A and B are shown apart, each in its own frame.
Chain A
């Protein structure tokens, strides 16, 4: 799935001061590519990820997925459900649910699979991220790296065409960092469009394209 940003603008106003974080930004993200977006703090990297995920509205411009424009919460929710997997620095797991329940969360909206199939699929994804022995563990019983693996498994459960990650290794040690980047890289090789926002210079090793967001503009390096 292609993502096309056309002349996107986003401005925050705080205490009367305008911060134009995205200036007429245009870019086309291709499938089977690992994009690393880097930039200084406050440069608008997270804003860009959230705009691409449909969680944040831009002021002006166009956002197209396979040349189709999406509008509103319901349309973007469907898109996230079917085609976008999201990974964030803070894992964003439901504390009251076990690892497998967290992974299975998007499948509650999937009516094509039987309950048993959903459980099997979730177990399989947890196995891929190396957590087959911790399916019934609650997030508080898992390490940071393990929690992020659960988040990755959840992002992959619906086999999305796009994976968006915002500082996915921000809270992790080097080993887990490497594992997560490798998992994401594997997904891009398998045909997904992976867009990762990170401060971590280590990401350059995995990126097919390195993008810098600076002064509201995105350019390839």
Chain B
């Protein structure tokens, strides 16, 4: 662009008050796009890593209403070379309270999950080796109220269990004497967690605890969990007469994750489209309102092609200006949005929001394309203007 025209465009930007509105609206929409795109890619990355690192998702579970002989089936399943392990419901999950963390405000409730050793990333201490050993996450929320989405809860309410390492913690089951579980390790909960106040013990430990303290657990009606060497081999389960249907845990969870990812992705695209539509309508309006000025430019020797070029450059300058401002604000919002809203939900607080270069670059390219397409459409109205009529209006 020639310097002279740059001067004209800058003067026009300065003189036109609707530009301020355009910039403001562009900033708002772009923040939504950048934050949306960042959340989209962050959630997607988080979920994919989460799914691939959590062995609990590689399980297959079966519920058969008329399962006559569960023990026989479990035994037979364990003989299959593709089946690495089989657990009943009572070996998988249990609830109790940790006396250590109980006070007036906290109920100290925790969940115990059964797991196998070698699947958690231990950051302090060691993995489970024996029964009645326990590993817990680095950020621990000793209160079940966190599930109630209480706004007072955020990551700051988590506590560190590091100083409890190698100590025996007393765990209560309802109406029973406490039993002791030794905290042997702290695992990285970033990509390896099921719920925020979950600790892990071996399946065998869980079974023993459940047998002793939760005798009314109706295990016969609960699912059987199967750990396969590869989730893709799940079809081997259909070789058993007793099993007519199975469900992959991954599929259930993927459905939820995919929905969230889809929603953020679609929202981002919609915001992008809004920018395009907005520019289209705002510039249509401008062309209409400024048709007299366009006629003046035409009189003094600007061709319609050149006039359109001026508008294009003006759009691009306005866009770049708003993009820079939006980017700065987006950085602030993207990180603090997590703190303000998502950290109230401990599971979502683990999402590491990164304003990825890809999201920014993608947003920039898509928006510029949308802008060019929509402005081309709106500025094509300039070709339709009858200058000789406008002069006399």
Chain A residues with CB under 8 Å of chain B are 46, 50, 53, 55-56, 73-74, 77-78, 80-82, 86, 88, 90, 92-94, 96-97, 101, 105-111, 115, 154, 158
**B391–A88 touching, CB < 8 Å:** yes
Chain A facing B: main interface SS? helix
Q: Please, which residues of chain A bring their CB within 8 A of the CB of B303?
A: 73-74, 77-78
**B11–A97 touching, CB < 8 Å:** yes
With contacts A78-B301, A106-B300, A111-B2 taken as known, whether A92 is within 8 angstroms of B391 at the C-beta atoms is: yes
B233 close to chain A: CB less than 8 A: no
Please count how many residues in chain B sit with their CB below 8 Å of the partner chain's CB atoms: 27
List 6 interface pairs A-B (beta carbons < 8 Å), by A numbering: A56-B388, A77-B298, A81-B301, A108-B4, A108-B8, A154-B300
Q: Please, which residues of chain A bring their CB within 8 A of the CB of B301?
A: 77-78, 80-82, 106, 109, 158
Segment 14-28 of B: residues with Cβ below 8 Å from A: 15-16
Q: Name, among B16, B293, B301, B388, the residue most crowded by chain A CB atoms within 10 Å (CB to CB).
A: B301
A24 CB to closest chain B CB (Å) equals 21
B297 close to chain A: CB less than 8 A: yes
**A55–B391 touching, CB < 8 Å:** yes
**B391–A109 touching, CB < 8 Å:** no
B262 close to chain A: CB less than 8 A: no
**A92–B305 touching, CB < 8 Å:** no
Question: Once the chains are docked, how many angstroms separate the CA of A210 from the CA of B120?
Answer: 100
Q: Please, which residues of chain A bring their CB within 8 A of the CB of B300?
A: 80-81, 86, 105-106, 154
Question: Once the chains are docked, how many angstroms separate the CA of A93 from the CA of B296?
Answer: 7
Segment 283-299 of B: residues with Cβ below 8 Å from A: 292-293, 295-299
Closest to A86 in B: B299
**B302–A77 touching, CB < 8 Å:** yes
Question: Once the chains are docked, how many angstroms separate the CA of A73 from the CA of B301?
Answer: 10
**B7–A108 touching, CB < 8 Å:** yes
B304 close to chain A: CB less than 8 A: yes
B164 close to chain A: CB less than 8 A: no
B310 CB to closest chain A CB (Å) equals 9
Closest to B300 in A: A106
Closest to A76 in B: B303
Q: Please, which residues of chain B bring their CB within 8 A of the CB of A50?
A: 388, 391
